[in-house]
Amino acid sequence: MSNSLISPQIHEALSRALDSGNVDDFEITVHDPNKKGEGYLGEMLYVTLKDRKTLQDKHLIVKQAFAEQPLRDALPIRTAYVNEINFYIEVWPRLDEFQKTIPEEYQFHKVPRCFASISDENSEKLVLENLRFQKFRTHEKRAPLNDDYYKLLMKEYGRFHAVSFAYKHLHPEEYAGLVANLEDMYEDFGDIEFFPKQLRGIFELSLKSLQPGRDDAAIARFKPYIPDCMEEFTAAATCRTRYTCLTHGDCWSNNMMFKYDESGKPIDVRFLDFQLARDASPCSDLSYCIYSGASKEVLDNLDAYLQLYHQSLSDTLRQFGCDPNEVYPFIELKRDWKRCGKLGFSMGLMIWKVKCLLESEIKDFKDIPIDEQEQIFQGAYDEEAFKKVSRDVILHMYENDFF
């Protein structure tokens, strides 16, 4: 694509991403945009910049918000993008600098590099590194994540949370000012017109996965929960606990990219999409991550994964000179799980419904009339796959007395 065909807004974003600031020194190739379902509130452009002198390539992603005003009026698009820009420009750089005081092997470096951002109204953008050229790739949506994935994820979430836990413990006023830059978008989910209705609809659909005569006790417990599911979600999302840290926010597997060894085992990860980042219980991240992706075998061994997480958290906190039993005792994590884990339970069932949609049915909000936004979760789907995973999650919640 000729440089002259690049929109002025994209041209400006790329200019900011370059050390020289001169895009004309590069030949620009724009590749196919993201697939449906990869960017619900915007789109991603995959861009290669070839230096005209050195012939070296720079592979970038331009993540840009939808600009259509009716869509922006219906959905918190600007808030989401400004939140992510603040994470990359203000919040994470401060914490990244802070963690340089501990040994490299305990530091957390699983966030993509952000080269530039634009926060102008109707033109919000981020320019990020394209991890595909570093051999990272996303996990197949419908396939549950197994033990290897969750061992890796719990270890890295432990390190990620430990950095902000330590900063909060050692510099409480500075931490409070830092996270004040982030909007708690979960508090506003109930104001999204379609969300409460859609949440209840997916809970009612999930109820059908339970088998009368076999799951009667679970049915008796889960059925009365459904009319109050939005209130339960809100209570979990706004759960007040003294044990909070910077959280990822949107923790399903599509917001992660993995690198694999020759046997196919995941050996590295990058966390993506910080639009829902906020100060909250780490159980918000962990429950969302687990209930939106775990196999039954992982669910059956939840406590072992929480212990693995807490060990990683504790090891990292000690490097900062913090006592894990003071900053976040394991017993408090278990208590928070009962209160805050319902956020992950609710989001997990919704995400599994999206994961089970047939490829031809996947949409972005831009494809749907404003008054029919609930269609994002609707369409032909793999009913048997959804029944299996939703039953596994509901029985897990029942058997552990989590609802």
Would residue 203 count as lying in a domain?
yes
- pLDDT for 41 equals 87
Range of the domain at 154: 136-399
Tally DSSP H helices, then E strands, for the chain. 15, 9
Quick one: pLDDT band at residue 4, thresholds 50, 70, 90?
Answer: very low
Quick one: pLDDT band at residue 394, thresholds 50, 70, 90?
Answer: very high
Q: Which of 141, 153, 150 is nearest to 299 (CA)?
A: 150
Would residue 96 count as lying in a domain?
no
- Tokens standing for 264? 């196919």
C-alpha–C-alpha distance, residues 330 and 310, integer Å:
7
- What's the CATH number where 313 sits? 3.90.1200
pLDDT tens digits, one per residue of 185-220: 998 888 888 899 999 999 999 999 999 999 999 999
Would residue 196 count as lying in a domain?
yes
Chain centroid offset of residue 24 CA: 35
- pLDDT for 19 equals 76
- Tokens standing for 157? 């979430």
The domain total for the chain is: 1
Top pLDDT among 24 and 177 is at: 177
pLDDT > 60? residue 376: no
Q: How high is the mean pLDDT of the chain?
A: 92
Would residue 340 count as lying in a domain?
yes
- Tokens standing for 82? 């400004």
C-alpha–C-alpha distance, residues 403 and 400, integer Å:
8
Mean pLDDT over residues 143-150, rounded? 97
- pLDDT for 358 equals 81
pLDDT > 90? residue 22: no
Would residue 64 count as lying in a domain?
no
pLDDT tens digits, one per residue of 73-111: 888 999 999 999 999 999 999 999 999 999 999 999 999
Would residue 321 count as lying in a domain?
yes
Would residue 267 count as lying in a domain?
yes
pLDDT > 90? residue 20: no
Neighbours of 56 (CB within 10 A): 9
Top pLDDT among 257 and 194 is at: 257
pLDDT > 60? residue 371: no
* Pairing status of strand 245-247 against strand 114-118: unpaired
Would residue 116 count as lying in a domain?
no
Q: Model-level pTM?
A: 0.93
